[in-house]
Structure 1
Amino acid sequence: MIRLARTNRSVIAEWWWTVDKWTLLVLMCLMLLGGVLALAASPAVATRINLPPFHFVYRQMVFFIPAIAVMIGVSLLNVRQVRRLAAIVFATGFVLMALTLIIGPEVKGAHRWLQIGPLAIQPSEFVKPAFIVLVAWLFAEAQRTPGVPGTALGLGLYAMVVSVLALQPDFGQLMLVTAVFGAMFFMAGLSWGWIGSLGALAASGAVAAYTLMPHVASRVNRFLDPESGDTYQIDRALDAFHTGGFFGRGPGEGEVKRILPDAHTDFIFAVAAEEYGVLAGLIIIGLFAFIVVRALRHAMEEQDLFLQFATCGLVALFGLQALINMAVNVNLMPAKGMTLPFISYGGSSLLALAFAMGMLLALTRRRAGSNVAPPSGRRTYA
């Protein structure tokens, strides 16, 4: 076993002694749970649509090693390198997002994907965390240096992103980006006039989506009045929680995965609850909550505004996505079509989340000037 001494000044040794190992461990646990639940949920889905039983399992496993490599590789970067990488990913991803409107295949009435050889990628998944880091930098610069139009530039980036999301259309991602952007707006201490304007814009957009988009109106109506339409998936998901009880029916004994079209993606939380019980659901919630609380604690201990804003923004993006997915599963929100981070099937989602959490790990590493010293009592540099 390789031992990394504190006197070792290599990049790997510096990373090992400065990275938040608890957050890293919990992220790895979530990825492991994703593998276990892929084995539980996806074979039944694959068989139902005439694919080999382990089709989705193999495809998901193919992305696990690259995802771990991306997360660890990005976490090795320093703060300046994280900003530069975010800018590159945002610029590239935004161009690809725009291309989905022109050459992207239509899937369930939306153009969100690009087919590159045998792979289908969803560029918006990568744009989200890069956008958050860039906005955090712009807001921080606006406060550090009077005269820098950081707020206006941040609003410009937001308008660009949500415009393309609305055209795809992908209102689940649009709402998520808006919620996180609004939270960062509030954290940046901007005037209530700006915050109120953003809130009014978001409300107007929601009303417009409800009025102009029949599928959005249908989802909201079915949530408010189940008798107004088909609530089959939600009803079966609720049945899964009921029949699973506290300890579950046992591995492989679940029934909901055999009848739900999206059991391996949007409703994998219901599959977990049916086979492993509400206890397993509480453990999953606890893992997500641990990452969110620990990242927020890091942000509170930082003096650098960019690190505060970026850390809070990234973990808000991560936590809200998990919250929305689980809330939909228990019928606390209208269906959104959003994956459960690191657990639902999806290569683009897995790699994009690894990228986002890699940046979070990089930004929360112990560094010179931090209020918190490493275990040895000496400051270290990242």
Structure 2
Amino acid sequence: MKQLIGNLKGDKGIWSFVALLALFSFMPVFSASSNLAYLGHGTGNTLGYLVKHLGHIFFGFLIIFWVHKIPYQYFRSISKWLLPFVWVVLAITMIKGTVIGGANASRWLQIPFVGISFQPSTFAALVLFVFVARYLSKTREKPIDFLESLKELWLPVFITLLFILPSNFSTTALIFSMILMLAFIGKYPMKYIAVIVGSGIVFLTFFVLISKAFPDAKFFSRVRTWESRIENFSTDKPDEDDYQIEKAKIAIASGKIYGLGPGKSVQKNFLPQSSSDFIYAIIVEEYGLIGGLGVLSLYLLLLFRFVVASHIATTLFGKLVVIGLGFPMIFQAMINMAVAVELLPVTGQTLPLISSGGTSIWMTCIALGIIIGVTKKEEEIAQELKDTAKREEALQKLIDRELEEEHVLEEAYSIEDKAKNPMQAVLNK
């Protein structure tokens, strides 16, 4: 075990909090997957879902280990070449996407001959954040030309978001807001950011208006879902999402301070997405306010380690990568928890590292691997400086010792000369 831990380089705090979240996830997923086990006249055996989640977590940690070994600077150029590939995958998903787990949006893509489904928008977000960090770090040394930045930065960003928007507005909004935050931290001029925000609002309004003109088009089918969710959030009109929120609120109220106990949730049998989108409600029901605040605290501690990692990074690209990959992870967790307590409309965002689902876990682990890779590089630099200081200190001690020995020899020669010429010494006095 010591040898295994010794091979884990980088920020040990990030490793620890990620491991705690992953370990904690097993009981809620095992408990909350009961409704999936009974779905479609199933046997009710949740062990298979637990084993599946275990496989996702285990492979996720292998991903973190492999990725954190790669020098993070390599991702700088990789992101540029991966972006066109991402557009192709998103376009295929838009045309041939499938429905998974009852989700009413074709946002999943089935990999042929493998039987694995994944959500390309999560991978697209990962690539896009690194791409934006690359551009901002590249242009830091010279004044930013707005027209040039439109072509090199914002055009790729808007193309990517255009592919994601029709099937997943919440993910599009999260990605766009995080990119704006990254641009602000990267010292992109505020007046240009204001223009981009305004352009985004105009584009979204135009998109909604077109959907009104063509209500039967499949491309705009999700617009009605967005409108109903916003309407249900602001009014008391009953709806499927309203049903989920009510069950989530009942679960949270039932948990009280200490909870009903592990595996004793009642509302897990009624919440359609109890093991993914609404798993936080099940956590509070079974582990109470203490468990809910504990999970929140782990995410906040992880956010603190991300801030520390970005602060100690010696390169601007390293700082922006940590912020661009770490902060969206925490904000996604906050959105998931806010939805469960009805602070936000239903968005479909999972709880990172806790909700079931291979794509979400693996993409989160890739991001964590890159972040830990940044901290590993800084540790290596610090260790090199420490080793250099030790070598310089050892060299200085050697020089001091040689000077001392030389001084002793000079004194010895002086005493010997005095002993050979005693009369000359008296005359000298």
Interval containing the TM-score (normalised by the shorter chain): 0.7 to 0.9
**Which residue of 2 is the match for residue 342 of structure 1?**
353
Compare 143-152 and 87-96 and name the one that shifted more. 143-152
**Which residue of 2 is the match for residue 220 of structure 1?**
230
CA contact (8 A) 1:210 1:216 kept: no
What is the SS of the residue equivalent to 2:176?
A: helix
Deviations 1:297-333 (A, max 9, x none): 2212334211111111111111111111111001000
Q: Does 1:273 align with 2:297?
A: no
Which amino acid is 1:160 matched to? I
2: CA distance between counterparts of 1:202 and 1:301? 33
- The Cα of 1:375 is off from its aligned counterpart by 12
Q: Does 1:252 align with 2:263?
A: yes
CA contact (8 A) 1:90 1:126 kept: no
1: CA distance between counterparts of 2:49 and 2:203? 36
2: CA distance between counterparts of 1:320 and 1:310? 16
What is the SS of the residue equivalent to 2:107?
A: coil
1: CA distance between counterparts of 2:230 and 2:208? 8
What is the SS of the residue equivalent to 1:223?
A: helix
Q: Does 1:25 align with 2:23?
A: no
Which amino acid is 2:305 matched to? R
**Runs of 4+ residues over 6 Å off in structure 1:** none
- The Cα of 1:48 is off from its aligned counterpart by 3.5
Q: Does 1:48 align with 2:65?
A: no
Compare 104-113 and 252-261 and name the one that shifted more. 104-113
CA contact (8 A) 1:141 1:150 kept: no
Inter-CA distance 379–200: structure 2 relative to 1 (3 Å threshold): farther
Inter-CA distance 22–254: structure 2 relative to 1 (3 Å threshold): same
Structure 1 unaligned residues grouped into runs of 5+ = 5-11
1: CA distance between counterparts of 2:150 and 2:316? 14
- Residue pairs, 1:1-382, within 5 angstroms: 3=3, 16=8, 18-52=9-43, 53-54=45-46, 55-87=48-80, 89-106=82-99, 108-116=103-111, 117-145=114-142, 149=148, 152-167=151-166, 169-205=167-203, 207=205, 212=211, 213-227=223-237, 229-230=239-240, 231-367=242-378, 373=382, 377-378=386-387
**Which residue of 2 is the match for residue 9 of structure 1?**
none
- The Cα of 1:278 is off from its aligned counterpart by 1.2
CA contact (8 A) 1:23 1:291 kept: yes
Which amino acid is 1:35 matched to? F
What is the SS of the residue equivalent to 1:120?
A: strand
Deviations 1:173-206 (A, max 9, x none): 1011011011011112122221111222333355
Compare 24-33 and 219-228 and name the one that shifted more. 219-228
2: CA distance between counterparts of 1:147 and 1:254? 55
Which amino acid is 1:367 matched to? E
CA contact (8 A) 2:144 2:188 kept: no
- The Cα of 1:51 is off from its aligned counterpart by 3.2
2: CA distance between counterparts of 1:376 and 1:276? 46
- The Cα of 1:228 is off from its aligned counterpart by 5.8
Aligned residue pair count: 368
What is the SS of the residue equivalent to 1:332?
A: coil
CA contact (8 A) 1:74 1:82 kept: no
1: CA distance between counterparts of 2:388 and 2:276? 43
Cα-Cα RMSD: 2.7
Which amino acid is 2:157 matched to? Y
Deviations 1:215-257 (A, max 9, x none): 1010001111123645111111111111100110111211110
Which amino acid is 1:338 matched to? Q
CA contact (8 A) 1:82 1:362 kept: no
2: CA distance between counterparts of 1:41 and 1:106? 21
Question: TM-score, structure 2 length as denominator?
Answer: 0.79
Which amino acid is 1:201 matched to? S
Structure 2 unaligned residues grouped into runs of 5+ = 212-222, 390-429
Bigger radius of gyration among the two: 2
Which amino acid is 2:133 matched to? A
2: CA distance between counterparts of 1:234 and 1:267? 9
CA contact (8 A) 1:132 1:313 kept: yes
Structure holding more helix per residue: 2
1: CA distance between counterparts of 2:3 and 2:66? 20
**Which residue of 2 is the match for residue 7 of structure 1?**
none
Which amino acid is 1:94 matched to? W
